[in-house]
């Protein structure tokens, strides 16, 4: 199975679309290399805008371009895009309803050892709180491909977070189940519902196999559409299980766990436990080391799930 980073897939889909659509514009803030967008900049220089290290400018310029008919993709590290240019995302993109897709690269703790300034463990909470801003966190490059194709067809604002490194695919090249704004059921089960997004979906899927070996039946829901959250999928999964476990590469407040808890609490009360990063600067290390340390891996997820259905 091929393994390419989700950000690279975004660039590939946009380059493919740009062949016939001159209105597609990519913008980077000295981030074309880290965003895997150098091929786009080299191939379509007339459709590429460099703003230098100026994320506020990046997002406002994207909004201005979009207001004049462009399909603007602003590509910048998630840590800066979701904080430094937050007001531009709120006012110029969401409030003004411009066709800007904010692509947060190297999201979560991708920049592991670089410290909290470079982590975006608050981006779901921040972006989802803005009216008219959608939030997508695809799990693998195949889902990313389908997501970006879908985003190309609409004219609404969105924030997309992807990680820095290539991750093991969740889906198979021949079979990528995808419906826009509908969660993907990775597997079905009756004891516990595991709802995850982004890079946490693969370990959740692996955890379901570990649980299966212990005689525990787990469903895994890939909630790549964090906002609009697929509430029906949450309710269905929760109703069919004894408890719900959410897993996310995000701080404990305001993320996927909070949003799922709201739905389950109000519509089908069941125990919900949230696995996330801590409300603190995370420990130094690679993404994998950080995930392992906080139990955000297959073993950690399986252990927590088993505890819940005991």
Partner 1 sequence: MENLTALSYELRKDVINMIRSGKAGHIGGDMSVIDTLVTLYFKQMNIGPENMDDPDRDRFVMSKGHSVEALYAVLAEKGFFPIEEVIDTFSKFGSKFIGHPNNKLPGIEMNSGSLGHGLPVCVGMALAGKMNHQNYRVYTVMGDGELAEGSVWEGAMSAAHYKLDNLCAVVDRNRLQISGNTEDVMHHDDLHERFRSFGWHVIDVKNGNSIEELDAAFEEAKTVKGKPTVLIANTVKGCGSSVMENKASWHHHVPGDEEYEQIMKDLEERKEAALK
Residue ranges binding partner 1 (CB under 8 A): 25, 46-47, 49, 51-52, 54, 56-57, 60-70, 72, 87-88, 91-92, 95-97
Residue closer to partner 1 (CB basis): 51 or 287: 51
Question: What is the closest distance, in whole angstroms, from the C-beta atom of residue 42 to partner 1 in the complex?
Answer: 17
Distance between CA atoms of 210 and 230, rounded to whole angstroms?
26
Question: What is the closest distance, in whole angstroms, from the C-beta atom of residue 54 to partner 1 in the complex?
Answer: 4
Q: Are 61 and 49 in contact (CB under 8 A)?
A: yes
Residue closer to partner 1 (CB basis): 84 or 236: 84
Question: What is the closest distance, in whole angstroms, from the C-beta atom of residue 287 to partner 1 in the complex?
Answer: 31
Question: What is the closest distance, in whole angstroms, from the C-beta atom of residue 80 to partner 1 in the complex?
Answer: 13
Contacting residues for 92 by C-beta, under 8 A, at least 6 apart: 59, 60, 62, 63, 64, 98, 100
Residue closer to partner 1 (CB basis): 49 or 220: 49
Closest CA to 151 of 224, 231, 213, 96: 224
283 three-state secondary structure: coil
Question: What is the closest distance, in whole angstroms, from the C-beta atom of residue 293 to partner 1 in the complex?
Answer: 37
Residue closer to partner 1 (CB basis): 54 or 114: 54
- For 161-173, b where at least 16 C-beta lie within 10 A, e where not — what string? bbbbebbebbbee
Residue 197 bridge partners (DSSP): none
Residue closer to partner 1 (CB basis): 47 or 106: 47
Residue closer to partner 1 (CB basis): 18 or 243: 18
Question: What is the closest distance, in whole angstroms, from the C-beta atom of residue 62 to partner 1 in the complex?
Answer: 6
**E strand or H helix that includes residue 88:** helix 86-88
Contacting residues for 307 by C-beta, under 8 A, at least 6 apart: none
Residue 75 half-sphere exposure toward CB, CA atoms < 13 A: 33
């Amino acid at each position: 199975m091929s393994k390419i980073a989700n950000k690279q897939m975004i660039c590939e889909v946009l380059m493919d679309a740009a062949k016939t659509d001159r209105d597609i514009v990519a913008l980077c803030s000295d981030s074309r290399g880290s965003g895997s967008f150098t091929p786009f900049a080299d191939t379509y220089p007339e459709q590429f805008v460099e703003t230098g290290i100026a994320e506020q400018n990046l997002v406002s310029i994207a909004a201005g371009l979009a207001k004049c008919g462009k399909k603007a993709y602003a590509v910048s590290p998630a840590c800066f895009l979701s904080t430094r240019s937050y007001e531009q995302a709120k006012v110029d993109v969401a409030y003004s309803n411009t066709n800007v897709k904010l692509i947060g690269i190297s999201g979560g703790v991708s920049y592991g050892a670089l410290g909290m300034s470079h982590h975006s463990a608050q981006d779901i909470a921040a972006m989802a709180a803005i009216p008219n801003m959608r939030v997508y966190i695809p799990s693998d490059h195949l889902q990313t491909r389908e997501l970006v194709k879908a985003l190309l067809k609409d004219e609404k604002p969105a924030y997309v977070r992807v990680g820095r490194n290539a991750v093991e695919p969740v889906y198979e090249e021949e079979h990528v189940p995808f419906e826009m704004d509908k969660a993907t059921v990775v597997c079905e089960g009756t004891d516990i519902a595991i709802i995850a997004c982004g890079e946490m979906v693969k370990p959740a899927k692996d955890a379901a196999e570990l649980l299966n070996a212990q005689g525990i039946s787990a469903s895994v829901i890939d909630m790549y559409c964090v906002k609009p959250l697929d509430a029906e999928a949450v309710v269905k999964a929760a109703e069919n299980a004894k408890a719900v476990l959410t897993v996310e590469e995000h701080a404990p407040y305001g993320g996927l766990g909070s949003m799922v808890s709201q739905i389950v609490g109000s519509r089908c009360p069941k125990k919900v436990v949230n696995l996330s990063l801590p409300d603190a600067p995370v420990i130094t290390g690679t993404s994998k080391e950080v995930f392992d340390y906080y139990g955000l891996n297959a073993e950690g997820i399986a252990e927590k799930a088993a505890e819940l259905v005991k």
